[in-house]
């Protein structure tokens, strides 16, 4: 889940949580994505995946229409991964594509 979402659930200011992430003082596991986004993995708020989902896989697909939108593509992919993780998916795969229709 995103830092802002976790901060709201814990009744904390997002700036405080970002500071804890950077300092390594978070009370729950966090992950920093390649684009610099912090994802919070708090078992208290993450719903477990259904038992039959362990034999399947989850793929997140992100696409932009031109090469100058690469930064948007990375942010889009990070948001999709954060959403999948918040839904209880253990290892979501991310597929990205740049191309015009």
Secondary structure letter of residue 85 according to DSSP? H
36: left (phi over 0), alpha (psi -120 to 50) or beta: left
Choice among 35, 65, 86, 100 that is catalytic: 65
Is 65 one of the catalytic residues? yes
CA dist 30 and 2 (Å) reads 10
By annotation, the residues acting in catalysis are 65
């Amino acid at each position: 889940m995103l830092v802002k979402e976790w901060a709201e659930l814990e009744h904390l200011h997002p700036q405080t949580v970002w500071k804890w992430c950077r300092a390594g003082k978070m009370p729950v596991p966090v992950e920093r994505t390649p684009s610099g986004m912090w994802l919070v993995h708090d078992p208290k708020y993450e719903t477990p995946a259904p038992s039959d989902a362990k034999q399947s896989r989850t793929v997140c697909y992100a696409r932009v229409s031109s090469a100058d939108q690469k930064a948007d593509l990375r942010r889009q992919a990070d948001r999709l991964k954060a959403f999948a993780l918040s839904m209880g998916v253990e290892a979501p795969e991310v597929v990205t594509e740049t191309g015009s229709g």
